[in-house]
Amino acid sequence: MNSVERLFITLANLFPVWVLTGAGLALWKPETATWFQPHWIPYFLGLIMLSMGLTLSLEDFSRVLKMPKSILLGVGLQYTIMPGLGYALALGFNLPIDFVIGLVLVACCPGGTASNVVCFIARTHVALSVSLTTCSTLLAVLLTPFLTTWWVESISLEQTGLKVDVDTLGLLLKTLKVVILPVLLGIFLNHFFHRGVKKVEAYTPFVAVLSIVFIVDFILADKKSAILEIGASLIVAVLLLHLLGFILGYVLSRLLKFTERDAQTVSIEVGMQNSGLATELARSNFPAYGLATVPGAISALTHCILGSIAAGLCRWHNASTRNRDH
């Protein structure tokens, strides 16, 4: 690995810095982010998912078969803890329907690719992290649309007595287009053009980081006035969604007899969601609810901060444990 490749890997590992810096600029000077066009979002999201696919090989899927219990339980926690929390928090904070839709989408999306970087920094089980992200992403084509439909319709009916109709098929097709197809393309390219992919693999994580930064910053700049007007309720709801996801992911994993390292990995996977996907699904499938994209943007900031804290805690805990053992 040459010095340029090491530089790009370091830049990718600093993803919370870029997200927070960009968010600060977007809210302070919106013109720094409003050059981005909303119809570019699916293409940049596809680029993120393609970057993920380029890191995967057929061997990764054989690795999944070697730890089916961990994968099954980890993905099960992903798609039960977070949707349940999203439902409870949306009702508990009595959020407007736009924010209900956005929060539920964040809760029902798969784990984010940034979780793999956090697990690497935290020195947890990276292979398990990649496997969990891959499986939850592939399952998202079915689970995200159906879970979103169930929870949004249930909450809207409970709050107002009127059911928000959700285009489940539209959500499914959009998830297939912007998530599954780019991932499969990346796997295909990595398998049949592996030598070429190896030459760019050090750069693709930073490309993915920049893509999510552009998406998040645009949403924050475009919805700045709404974000400043809503008060703390949505921000606290999103913060609790991710914080409780981290905590419950760890606690339940330990109760299910996961090792300490694997429980830390599941905690990070559950707590960090694919906020970019939530934002795009809100934008393209709920055009009548213009503020539904805001929770996804706030989510990206929140889970980056919490993920960085979790990585630091895991490294400290694991180092302390090793020192005691010696």
Q: How far apart are the first and last CA of the chain?
A: 33
- The tens digit of pLDDT for each residue in 39-48 reads 898 898 888 8
pLDDT at 292: 93
For residue 313, pLDDT beyond 90: no
How much of the chain exceeds pLDDT 70, in percent?
A: 98
DSSP sequence for 158-198: HHHS-PPP--HHHHHHHHIIIIIHHHHHHHHHHHHSHHHHH
Classify residue 45 by burial, with Cβ atoms within 10 Å: 0-12, 13-18, 19+.
Answer: buried
pLDDT tens-digit series, residues 125-162: 877 888 888 889 889 989 999 999 999 999 998 887 77
Average pLDDT for 80-87 = 95
Question: pTM for the whole thing?
Answer: 0.86
Instruction: Examine the pLDDT at 265 and tell me if it is beyond 70.
Output: yes
> Closest Cα to residue 103, out of 275, 286, 324?
275
Q: Region 252-277: what's the mean pLDDT?
A: 92
111 phi and psi, to 5 degrees? -65, 145
Q: Which CATH class is domain 3-325?
A: mainly alpha
The highest-confidence range among 32-46, 208-222, 244-258, by mean pLDDT, is 244-258
